[in-house]
Amino acid sequence: MKALLLIISIMFGTLYCAQAQTKDTAAADVLVLNDGSIIKGERIEATKSGYVRLRMKDGTEVEFPIESIAEIRKDMPRDYRAPRKPHQVQSKGLYATINTGFLFGSIEQDPVSFTSGAAIGYRFFPQLHLSGGGGADVYGSGDMFAPVYLRIGGDVMKTRVSPSYYFASGYAFPFNTPEEYFDAKGGAFYEGGVGVTFRTASRIYWTLNMTYRQHKAERSYYNNWWGNNGSFTTEKRTYRRFGLTVGMCF
């Protein structure tokens, strides 16, 4: 029984404190009189007789003639915080994205590479977007590719911060062909990722993604090393990289 009474007392005490805090942090009405005096209280009403009735902090009510008042304004408490603007959720329509980041490979070869891209597409609803785009990948070895792809993705929730996903598939074209190569070809390109979308009060979203990509490439050259007698060599490569990218959607 004592425990029950204690719990009830704590509940009512918490409720009372919350109400008291609400009253303390409420915005007060401030009357600035023609003589420069400043009166603070809670405005009740403007009477038909031409007076403004104000309830003071001690509970008393005082009336002031309207012609004696120079200004009426709100006095916000020091700890007052303006309400946060609601974030926008774009349900459907055209959109565009740009992103940039880093790709991480093995320590022995191409430990860090650079990637960037852009896409434009259509948002069917927040959880499903379809777009087409392209970009540029610059590997530490000097190899450069320009992937072109179709991308499907979406935001899981409509909240200000939401998990997101995407998958892209296309073709990566060689961007540069060193003189020693007789021929260079690109190959199929695949990429997938998960991340977080940060919505704002405007149409702009920010994204942070962890990605994994893979694409193939082929290059042919004359092998003039000792013992090869200038033989023609075709080398096939598969680039596999994890990445971290930052993007903007608008």
Range of the domain at 209: 93-249
Residue 79: CB partners within 8 Å, gap ≥ 6? 25
Residue with tokens 């260079």: 184
pLDDT digits (tens, 9 = 90+) for 15-72: 444 444 444 445 678 878 888 888 888 876 766 677 888 888 888 888 888 888 888 8
Specify the DSSP element, H or E, that contains 231. Answer: strand 231-249
Q: Outline where DSSP puts E strands in 105-160.
A: 112-125, 128-138, 144-155
Which pLDDT score is estimated for 42? 80
Alpha helices in 114-221 (DSSP H): none
* 173 vs 144: CA distance, rounded Å: 9
CATH code: domain of residue 190: 2.40.160.20
DSSP string, 175-237: S---TTEEEEE-EEEEEEEEEEEEE-SSS-EEEEEEEEEEEEEEEEEEE-STTSTTEEEEEEE
Q: pLDDT tens for residues 77-99?
A: 655 565 667 878 878 899 999 99
Q: Are residues 151 and 209 in the same domain?
A: yes
**Is 224 domain-assigned?**
yes
* 3-class SS of residue 25: helix
The domain that contains 64 carries what CATH number?
A: 2.30.30.100
34 and 155, same domain (yes or no): no
The answer to whether 211 touches 191, Cβ cutoff 8 Å, is: yes
Residue 201 lies in a domain: yes
Show the tokens assigned to 48: 């038909």
Q: Collapsing DSSP states into helix, strand and coil, what is residue 107?
A: coil
241 assigned to some structural domain: yes
Residues 123, 212, single domain; the answer is: yes
- Residues 149 and 131: their CA atoms lie apart, in Å, by 9
Same domain, 160 and 192: yes
* Structure confidence by residue, pLDDT tens digits, 229-250: 556 677 788 889 999 999 999 8
Beta bridge partners of 132: 120, 150
Q: Per the structure block, which two tokens stand in for 53?
A: 């009735």
User: What is the model's pTM?
Assistant: 0.63
